[in-house]
Structure 1
């Protein structure tokens, strides 16, 4: 009797969530103004359903809703929405239900989002009748930059002021875009994961769900093993490039870019940690110092600080470091 009650309850809730997903997906497809809000809102009901029940129930709701949308709208677009918007919900639901750490949750969400974005791009390219993802993305970016540049020219900007857009247009060329494609996908996945995680956490707290607390940014650190993996990743890219394998340059550029970002974040957290704990500075002062330094040539200082912190673990946050045995 209890199993039947549980089954009925799960079916009813799955049906309600499926209806909600259909509404959001259709709004995302036909109302461009709410597409961003739809991207943020759709994972939430899927996440809640996973937490309350299990993977099978949440997946069933997603599949049913996608079938309904495919019958009403374009099947490929429904598949795109299904992959991009529901993958994060199921992944996040799994992480929250099983009490995964914030760092592991973000890593899993980033990977899921990056894969979903890649599949979404493939679908968009097929819908557009193109043969290459790189060429399609390059054309889209260059067209956007061209329109923006003309607007700024009409507004009276000088060539020097347009230099940033010209550099962006250069980076948007197929060869350069291919080198940075993995980095772009990783950063897009991380941004999407971070926003979805933050929004979903806020909603779940309002709904009185128990979620793992997020530590202050000043306790952010890069695990020494993660740094070693990134270094190996870069080395693999260098070796592939030397053997004239085209993907090697993309791996090297992406690995180097991700490592620099990790070093920068670690260095900023390290600096804020000591400024707050050693000098007892207020949040306002710390924010002003951060704004005036990170957006200036001084940002390189944070990268070196991050490297030093990874090597020496000044804050003693890395649990994988061997500590001297206290007598």
Structure 2
């Protein structure tokens, strides 16, 4: 009798959460900018389902949500939901349930996001264009150049000098389909890391209120990148440079990815060091520190943070015994 009550309660919760998922996803389709909220909320709902009721009821809820979305929207949108939100949500729930560390969870979910976003983009692009992702990128570049030419014509009518117009044209001529395709993997990786980190932070607050155990993320100011990871990053970049010098297939894309990811990682840890100094030594509030960092980034100070991040990973100015993963 008790098992029947538990089963009924699980079914009711699964049904309610399925309804919430459908409402969120439908709003994401029709309400501007709500898609960002939908991408953050849906995996969290699925994650909670997985933690509380296991894989069986979570799968049932996803199937119900998918069916309703097919009826209310279309098959492509419903399939996109299934790939981008359901899979990371289940993965996130599994990591929390198996008590993996915060950093390990963020990294695993980020990798899953890279895979599912790439897969969904590939599928949707081939449905939309015969050339797939290449067709999407080529169309974007073509439309961008058309808009640029129209803008240049307006500048000429307004009396802007031909020299200035030529400078603008030359600076924008570097945007090509090849450049965008080379940049896509690194951009996708960065977006996935940010998305995974943001979802985890929101989930942490939600699960704490639900009194569900979840490992906390180490305070950002105390993040430190150890020299072993630094060596791996530099090695990755070095291998990419060697491959690119030999003109191997895909080497240029790998080089862009290595440089951009490496830069992001070192800049983030450089910001962590500066934030720790400003808040610890100079007793500045988090808001003031955030404003200082934001303004400095606007004025292209990222190269400074990059250098600081690299040096700190080797020297360890603060003598932090644990790295950002919590390992000694």
| TM-score normalised over the length of structure 1 | 0.82
When structure 1 is superposed on structure 2, of 89-98 and 261-270 the one drifting more is 89-98
Gap change, CA 1:195 and 1:169, over 3 Å in 2: farther
Secondary structure at the aligned position of 2:100 is classed as: coil
Gap change, CA 1:255 and 1:154, over 3 Å in 2: same
> Where does residue 22 of structure 1 map in the other structure?
22
Q: Is the 8 A contact 1:237 1:248 kept in 2?
A: yes
Residue 306 in structure 1 maps to residue 309 in structure 2: yes
> Where does residue 130 of structure 1 map in the other structure?
130
Aligned-residue offset at 1:273: 1.7
Could you report, residue by residue, the CA deviation over 1:269-293 in whole angstroms, capped at 9, with x for unpaired residues?
Answer: 1122233333434445534542443
Question: For the residues of structure 1 that align with 2:56 and 2:211, how far apart are their CA atoms?
Answer: 24
Q: Is the 8 A contact 2:39 2:85 kept in 1?
A: yes
Q: Is the 8 A contact 1:135 1:174 kept in 2?
A: no
The residue correspondences of 1:1-327 to structure 2 (distance < 5 A) are 1-32=1-32, 34-140=34-140, 143=143, 147=147, 167=171, 170-171=174-175, 173-283=176-286, 285-317=288-320, 319=322
Structure 2 residue runs of 5 or longer lacking an equivalent are: 324-328
> Where does residue 326 of structure 2 map in the other structure?
none
Question: For the residues of structure 2 that align with 1:168 and 1:205, how far apart are their CA atoms?
Answer: 48
Gap change, CA 1:278 and 1:24, over 3 Å in 2: closer
Question: For the residues of structure 1 that align with 2:167 and 2:56, how far apart are their CA atoms?
Answer: 52
Secondary structure at the aligned position of 1:53 is classed as: helix
Q: Is the 8 A contact 2:268 2:309 kept in 1?
A: yes
Aligned-residue offset at 1:107: 1.2
Question: For the residues of structure 2 that align with 1:70 and 1:234, how far apart are their CA atoms?
Answer: 44
Question: For the residues of structure 2 that align with 1:305 and 1:249, how far apart are their CA atoms?
Answer: 27
Aligned-residue offset at 1:154: 5.7
Question: For the residues of structure 2 that align with 1:160 and 1:107, how far apart are their CA atoms?
Answer: 45
Structure 1 residue runs of 5 or longer lacking an equivalent are: 321-327
Question: For the residues of structure 1 that align with 2:266 and 2:39, how far apart are their CA atoms?
Answer: 30
Q: Is the 8 A contact 2:18 2:65 kept in 1?
A: yes
Q: Is the 8 A contact 1:265 1:306 kept in 2?
A: yes
Aligned-residue offset at 1:318: 5.1
Aligned-residue offset at 1:26: 3.0
When structure 1 is superposed on structure 2, of 217-226 and 177-186 the one drifting more is 217-226
Q: Is the 8 A contact 2:129 2:136 kept in 1?
A: no
Question: For the residues of structure 2 that align with 1:177 and 1:105, how far apart are their CA atoms?
Answer: 30
Q: 1 or 2 for the larger relative contact order (CA 8 Å, sep ≥6)?
A: 2
Q: Is the 8 A contact 2:204 2:216 kept in 1?
A: no
Number of residue pairs matched?
A: 319
Could you report, residue by residue, the CA deviation over 1:33-52 in whole angstroms, capped at 9, with x for unpaired residues?
Answer: 53333222222321211121
| TM-score normalised over the length of structure 2 | 0.82
Could you report, residue by residue, the CA deviation over 1:166-222 in whole angstroms, capped at 9, with x for unpaired residues?
Answer: 756633x21111221210110121232233333333433444444333333211222
Question: For the residues of structure 1 that align with 2:225 and 2:191, how far apart are their CA atoms?
Answer: 20
Question: For the residues of structure 2 that align with 1:157 and 1:292, how far apart are their CA atoms?
Answer: 34
Question: For the residues of structure 2 that align with 1:152 and 1:13, how far apart are their CA atoms?
Answer: 58
